[in-house]
Chain A
Amino acid sequence: MNAITPPASLASGTPHVRDAARVSLPVATVFGRVVRPAGGLGRLVSFDAEAARRCAGVVDVVRRGDFLAVVAASVEQAEAGAQALRAVWEGPDPSPAVTRVHRIAGYGDADAIFAGASAGDGAGAQARASASGPAGASTSISTSASAQGGDAVYRWPLIAPRSDACGTAIAHWRDGTMVVWLAGAQPGALRLEVAALLSLPETQVAIVCDPDPPAGHDDFCARQAAADAALLAHAVRRPVRVTFRADPAAFAPRLTLAVRSTLGPASAYRINASTTAGADTPIALLQTGTTVPYADAGASGHDPVADGGTLVPPYAPEHLTVTATLPPDASANPIATAPTAPTAPTEVAARAHVFAHESQLDELAVRAAVDPIALRLQWLDDSTGSQLIERVAAQAGWDGPLGSRMQASDAIRRGRGFAYARAIDIENGRPTQTWSAWVADVEVDARTGDISVTRVTVGHEREDHASPARPTPLRDDIAAATRQLTTGGTGYDDWGSSASQAIATQTHALADPTHASTQPSHTVARQPQVNVVGALAGGASATLPAAAAVANAIHDATGIRLREPPFSAGEIRQGLASREPSPPRTRKRGWLLAALAPVTAFAGLCATIVPWRAPLAPVAPPVPGFYSAATIERGRLVAAAGDCAVCHTAPGGTRNAGGLALETPFGTVYSTNITPDEKTGIGNWSYAAFERAMREGIHRDGRRLYPAFPYTAFAKVTDADMQALYAYLMSAEPVSARPPETKLDFPFNLRPALAGWNALFHRNTPFEPVATRSAQWNRGAYLAEGLGHCSACHSPRNALGAEQGGRAYLTGGMAEGWEAPALTALSKSPVPWTEEDLFQYLRTGYAARHGAAAGPMAPVVESLRELPESDVRAIAHYVASFSAPAAASAPAAASAATSAATSAATSAVTSTLTSTITQPDAQVRAIEARSEAMGQRLNGSAGRLYQAACAVCHQSQGGVPQFGVKPSLAVNTNLHSARPDNVIQAVLHGISAPPHAGIGYMPGFADSLDDEQISGLVHYLRERFAPDAPKWSGVEEAVAKIRRQATH
C-alpha cells in the first residue's frame, strides 16, 4: 500500500487552489440534497429523519442548526429522501433580533424635522404649481406651510444568478483535511468560510477550483454547493457531491433602503441602508449561525452599504442623515466583520443607492408639484454636476414630466423621467469622480404592462477625462441596463423572469400589426452636444441612473411607483387595473343580456348558433424579426404550458407539423400542422383568425374544428398570452406537411352540427380570477383550466364528447388508451396526493408515494419543464385544492411534541430529531408491509415472472441502487384503479420516453411475454399490491387490445 503523506501544499498555510482537471475526483461519491424553506432561511421546527432513512439508498440525514440535508447513493434517492423528511419551517426570520444603526454622514438633524412634521405627509392638498420653467432657470421652490414629504422603501437584489444557473461541488473529509472540489473559477472567501463552518483551522481546508467550469455553472452557486458539500462530507465522513440550483424566489438577499424626505418648512432627507443577509455568504453559514471573521482574510474593508460613495446623496438639503443598519454579529468591528464584506459588489450597491435617491427625489418633486430637475439643481452645490444636468436637459428638450399631456392612446401611455448620479469610479485603479445624468422616455402598453424605453439622453463626465477602462459602446450598456430592469411579475398570466429577459426594450405590437410602423421598437441614445473632454463613453458608472430614470418615467406614464427592480409588466398591469374601471367586458354584457332575457332570449339563441362562419382572409405571414424576442419567449412558455407540441407532433415527426392520431369514441381525429407554412400550416392566418380558432374552434376558412382541440379551455387564455403564442408560432420554421384528413362517421362528420354542440357546451369567456383565492391559486387555475387544459383528459366526457363540469370536474377520464386518473377526492390512490406530491410529480415526473408519469402524461411533464418552478407549484396548489382535506396530521404532531417534551433529558438535537411522523408515511409503511406479506403467500409462475422481470427495479429493498427511481408498486395509483389499462400499457410497451432521464427506463415485455403470461402477471400484481381491491375483469381482452395499439 502507498505511504500516506499529506501533500506539502496542504500543510502550508496558503490557499490550496489548483487546476481541477489534473485532480481526479473520488469515484465513490454520495449525493447530498439540502432541504430549505421557501425564502432560503427559516427556523427548522420538525422533520421526519426516520422516514427519510427508510428510503432506498439514503445514507444519512444531517442536521445542524437550521441546516437540513439528506445524503444518498443517487440524486434521485436523495430527492426522494428529502421529500420523505417533510420538514416544517417557521419564519422566515432572517432578520437579526438586534440591529445596530451606524451613522455614516449627516448635517443638521433630519430626524428632528421628521419628528415634528409627519402629519401633513401625503396630503397632496396643496394647489399644484404650474408647470415649472425650463431646467436651469432659477426656479424658487415655494416652501409651503405643511411639509411635503414621504416615506418609501426601495429594494435592490444583490445576487441575481440566472434562474437556470447551478453549481456543483464535491467535498471529502479525510485524514483531518477537508478537500473541496468546486466547479467554479472564483473561490472567494470559501476557504475561510468552510473553515469557520467546520470549526477547523484554515490550514485543514483545501479548495480545488475548476478554471473552466461547465456551461450554465455559476460561481455563486458553486460556492453555495461547496459549503453544503463540506458540511455534509464532514458529517458523514464520505465524499459528498452537491448541486446547488439558483432559485431567485428561494434565496434573494437584497439591499433595503428606507428613505424619508421632505421639502419645507425646512428641507430634510434621511436614508437608512440595510441588508437582511450576506450577499455572497453561503446559506449554510447563515443556517448554522456561523460567524466568519472575514477581516482576517484581508477583506476590502469597505462599508458594505456605502461603497462607491453613493450612499450619501449628491445633494445638500438643509438637514441630512445617512445611516446603515448592520446585523448584530458585526458588533466588535461593524465595518470589517460584517458578513457582506468579502465580495459585496460595490457597483451593485452604488446602483441601489442611486436608484433610491433619484426615485425618492422624483417622488418628492411630484408631491410638491415642482420640476424634478429644478428640485435637484436647487439642492446641488456642485457646478460640474449642475452644468451636466443642464446640458442633458437641453439636449433632451426637457420640459418637465409629460404628465398626461402626450398620451398616444388609451392603450399606450408615455412618460419621461430624469435621474442623476455622482460616484467614485475605481475601475481605472485610481478613484475618479464621475457624473451621469439620464432622461428616459418610455411607452407603457396598458393592456399588457409591457415597458418600452423609446429614447434615452445620457450625459456622462469623468474627473480625469480619461477613457473608461471598459469602453463598451454606450448603446450596448443602455440596452443591457434597461434589459435588466424589466421582467415578469406576479399577475396570473405572468411568466416569471425568464420570459422577459430577452430584449425588453421593444414594443408590443401584436394586436394590430399596423402599430408596428408608428412605434419605434428600439432604444435611441442621443449624444448630448456638450463640450466635455473625454466625451461620452460607456463604463459602469455611466448607467448608474438608468433604473431611477426608467422608474421615474414609468411613474410619469402610469402613476405607478415601482420601488424594486426588475420592473414587471404584471405589476404595472395590475396597478393600472386596480385604479381604473376595467373596460366593459363580456361579463358586463352578460349582465345586460340577463336583464333583457325575457325579450331577447330567442334572438340571443339565434345569434349564438351560427352554423356557418365566414372565412377570414388569408394574410402574408409576418416578416422575420417582426416580433420582439421577449414576446416570442413568452409565447414559447405559453406553448409549453398549452402542450401544443404534445398533440401537434406525430411520433418521430417534425415538431408542431401535425399528424398525431387521436382516437376518440367518434373516430380518429388527426392533429393539424401549426407551423407557419402558407399552404399546409397556419402561415396565412391573421391574428384574428388564430384567435377565433383558439377561442371558438373555427378554422380560418370557416370550418368548425372538432373539440378534440381543446378550444373550450383555450378560450380562457388572456389576450397578451394569446398574442405572444401567435408570435411564437409564426416565428417558427415553416414545415410543409399535410397530415391525414380527419374523417369521422356520420353523423359526426357534419361539422356544422358542432355549432349546436358549442351552444350547449362551450362558453367563450376569458379566465376570471376568484377574488377569495390567493394569487398562487389563481395562477394555477389559469394555467390548469386554460392553457394546461387538464380537464380535457382528467374529466369524464358525456355521450356527446363534452367534458363534464361541476362535481365531475377532474374526476378522471381516458386518453389515448391510458386512463387519466381522478385528481379529486375520488382518486383511487391508496395514499392521498398532497400538494407537494403533485408538485414533485409535475416537476420531475415522479412522486415516490404514487408513481411515475408515463403514457400521454410523460410529454406533458416534459413540456412543463419549460415553465418556471413557481408556475408548476401554482398548478399543484390549484389541483390539490380539489382533494379531500388532508387527514389531520395535527394530532400526530401534537403527540410527537408531547413525547419530545417529556424526554427532556435527551439532548436538544435528539429531541428535535424526534419529529412528527405524518399519517401518509405511516400509511405507506402499512401498505408496503401488507404487500410484502402477500408476496410471501402468493406463489406460481406469475410470482416467478415478477421476481425475474420486475423485482430488480421495483423492489426497493433488494439489489444495489439502480440508475433511476425504484417505484414502489404497493402505492402505485394504477394498481389500485378500477381499470387495468395503465398497468397493461406499462408492462406491454414499457416506458421508453420518461419526462426526465433520471427517472429511468422500463423495457416493454410485449415481445418476450405472451398474452397469457401478461394477464397472469397483471392479476398477480393486483392481488399482491392491491389485495383489498376487487380482481380486475376483462384483463385478457384488454391485453389483446392494448397489444395492438401503437405506443405513445
Chain B
Amino acid sequence: MTAPRPLLLRVNRQSHDVCVDPRTPLLYVLRNDLACNGPKYGCGLGQCGACTVLIDGVAARSCIVPASAAEGRAVTTLEGLGTRAAPDPVQQAFIEEQAAQCGYCLNGMIMSTKALLAVNPAPTEDEVREALRFNLCRCGTHVEILRAVQRAAELQRQDAVARELETLR
C-alpha cells in the first residue's frame, strides 16, 4: 500500500485538497470526498462508462484512473456542466428528449456526448452510435438517447458563440 498523501485536485473549476492513497480511483475521491455524485459506480473495470468524467476535456472512466493522474489537470463532472436553472445544452437536450429510464447510465451518456461534441460538433447518427457504443444502457432508452445527442448538438451550436462572447463582457 502507498501511504496517503495530499493531492490538489481541480474539479469543476474549484481546487480541492484531499489526502488519499494516490492510487485510489478518482471516482471514489469524487463521490466520497468531494460529494460529486454525478459519476456512478458501475463495473469498476472501465467497461460500462457510468463513471465517465472529463479530464482536460477528454472522456475518462474515473473508476480506472487513479486520483494522482488527475493532479494538474482539469476534471469536469456532471455537476460542472450546468445548473438546474441554467443546464448545459447537452443536459437540456436529454431533458427535452426525456432520454432516461432508470437513469444510471445517464451520467456516462451525457459526459460522453459532451466529449463527442467537443471533437465533432455535428455528428451523424452513425457517428453517435459508434461514439456511445461502449456506454452500456440496460433499459433500452437508446432511441431517445440518439435523439438527445442530435438535439444537444443543435443547442450547443446555437449557444456556443453567444455564451462565450458573454464571458468576455
A interface list, Cβ under 8 A from B: 1-7, 10, 23-24, 26-30, 57, 59, 73-75, 172, 174-175, 179, 206, 652, 948-949, 951-953, 957-964, 992, 997, 1000-1003, 1005, 1008
B46 touches A1003 (CB 8 A): yes
Please indicate the chain A residues that have their CB under 8 angstroms from the CB of B71 in the complex.
997
- Residue of B with least CB distance to A948: B47
- Residue of B with least CB distance to A77: B58
B64 touches A10 (CB 8 A): no
5 A-B contacts, Cβ less than 8 Å apart? A1-B158, A4-B161, A28-B117, A958-B134, A963-B55
Please indicate the chain A residues that have their CB under 8 angstroms from the CB of B130 in the complex.
957-959
The smallest C-beta distance from A628 to any residue of chain B, in angstroms, reads 31
Find B162's partner among A1, A23, A172, A951 (CB 8 Å cutoff): A1
- Residue of B with least CB distance to A994: B69
Say yes or no for B20: interface residue by CB 8 A criterion. Answer: no
- Residue of B with least CB distance to A998: B69
User: In whole angstroms, how far apart are the Cα atoms of A262 and B68 in the complex?
Assistant: 64
User: In whole angstroms, how far apart are the Cα atoms of A75 and B58 in the complex?
Assistant: 10
A26 touches B119 (CB 8 A): no
Say yes or no for B116: interface residue by CB 8 A criterion. Answer: yes
Find A961's partner among B68, B115, B133, B158 (CB 8 Å cutoff): B115
User: In whole angstroms, how far apart are the Cα atoms of A953 and B65 in the complex?
Assistant: 13
B131 touches A172 (CB 8 A): no
Docked complex: B99-151 residues within 8 A CB-CB of A: 112, 114-119, 130-134
Beyond the given A24-B13, A26-B164, A57-B119, could you list 4 further A-B residue pairs with CB under 8 A, ordered by the A residue number?
A: A74-B58, A172-B164, A958-B130, A1008-B45
Please indicate the chain A residues that have their CB under 8 angstroms from the CB of B84 in the complex.
none
Say yes or no for B33: interface residue by CB 8 A criterion. Answer: no
B46 touches A1 (CB 8 A): no
B68 touches A27 (CB 8 A): no
User: In whole angstroms, how far apart are the Cα atoms of A1002 and B66 in the complex?
Assistant: 10
- Residue of B with least CB distance to A75: B56
The smallest C-beta distance from B116 to any residue of chain A, in angstroms, reads 5
The smallest C-beta distance from B65 to any residue of chain A, in angstroms, reads 6
Please indicate the chain A residues that have their CB under 8 angstroms from the CB of B23 in the complex.
992
The smallest C-beta distance from A1005 to any residue of chain B, in angstroms, reads 7
User: In whole angstroms, how far apart are the Cα atoms of A77 and B116 in the complex?
Assistant: 15
B interface list, Cβ under 8 A from A: 1-2, 13, 23, 44-47, 49, 55-61, 64-66, 68-69, 71, 76, 112, 114-119, 130-134, 158-159, 161-169
- Residue of B with least CB distance to A208: B168
B69 touches A1001 (CB 8 A): yes
User: In whole angstroms, how far apart are the Cα atoms of A59 and B118 in the complex?
Assistant: 11
User: In whole angstroms, how far apart are the Cα atoms of A1001 and B115 in the complex?
Assistant: 19
Please indicate the chain B residues that have their CB under 8 angstroms from the CB of A174 in the complex.
161, 164-165
User: In whole angstroms, how far apart are the Cα atoms of A23 and B76 in the complex?
Assistant: 17
- Residue of B with least CB distance to A6: B165
The smallest C-beta distance from A1008 to any residue of chain B, in angstroms, reads 6
The smallest C-beta distance from A1000 to any residue of chain B, in angstroms, reads 8
The residue among A2, A174, A963 with the most chain B CB atoms within 10 A of its own CB is: A963
A960 touches B162 (CB 8 A): no
Please indicate the chain B residues that have their CB under 8 angstroms from the CB of A1002 in the complex.
64
User: In whole angstroms, how far apart are the Cα atoms of A735 and B82 in the complex?
Assistant: 51
Find B119's partner among A5, A73, A963 (CB 8 Å cutoff): A73
Please indicate the chain A residues that have their CB under 8 angstroms from the CB of B117 in the complex.
28
B64 touches A1001 (CB 8 A): yes
A961 touches B165 (CB 8 A): no
The smallest C-beta distance from B11 to any residue of chain A, in angstroms, reads 14
- Residue of B with least CB distance to A1004: B45
Find A960's partner among B66, B76, B116 (CB 8 Å cutoff): B116
The smallest C-beta distance from B126 to any residue of chain A, in angstroms, reads 12
A28 touches B68 (CB 8 A): no
Please indicate the chain A residues that have their CB under 8 angstroms from the CB of B65 in the complex.
963, 1000-1001
User: In whole angstroms, how far apart are the Cα atoms of A73 and B44 in the complex?
Assistant: 25
Using known A-B contacts A2-B166, A1005-B45, determine if residue A959 contacts B55 with beta carbons closer than 8 Å. no
User: In whole angstroms, how far apart are the Cα atoms of A217 and B59 in the complex?
Assistant: 26
User: In whole angstroms, how far apart are the Cα atoms of A1005 and B133 in the complex?
Assistant: 21
A74 touches B69 (CB 8 A): no
Task: Report, nearest first, the 9 A-B pairs whose CB atoms are least far apart.
Answer: A963-B60, A28-B118, A952-B134, A2-B162, A997-B69, A73-B119, A959-B134, A74-B58, A960-B115
Using known A-B contacts A1-B158, A997-B68, determine if residue A7 contacts B165 with beta carbons closer than 8 Å. yes
User: In whole angstroms, how far apart are the Cα atoms of A74 and B59 in the complex?
Assistant: 10
Please indicate the chain A residues that have their CB under 8 angstroms from the CB of B158 in the complex.
1
User: In whole angstroms, how far apart are the Cα atoms of A206 and B169 in the complex?
Assistant: 13
Please indicate the chain B residues that have their CB under 8 angstroms from the CB of A172 in the complex.
164
- Residue of B with least CB distance to A996: B69
The smallest C-beta distance from B137 to any residue of chain A, in angstroms, reads 14
The smallest C-beta distance from B145 to any residue of chain A, in angstroms, reads 14
- Residue of A with least CB distance to B130: A958
The smallest C-beta distance from B125 to any residue of chain A, in angstroms, reads 15
The smallest C-beta distance from A339 to any residue of chain B, in angstroms, reads 31
A962 touches B164 (CB 8 A): no
Using known A-B contacts A73-B58, A962-B60, A1001-B69, determine if residue A949 contacts B162 with beta carbons closer than 8 Å. no
B165 touches A5 (CB 8 A): yes
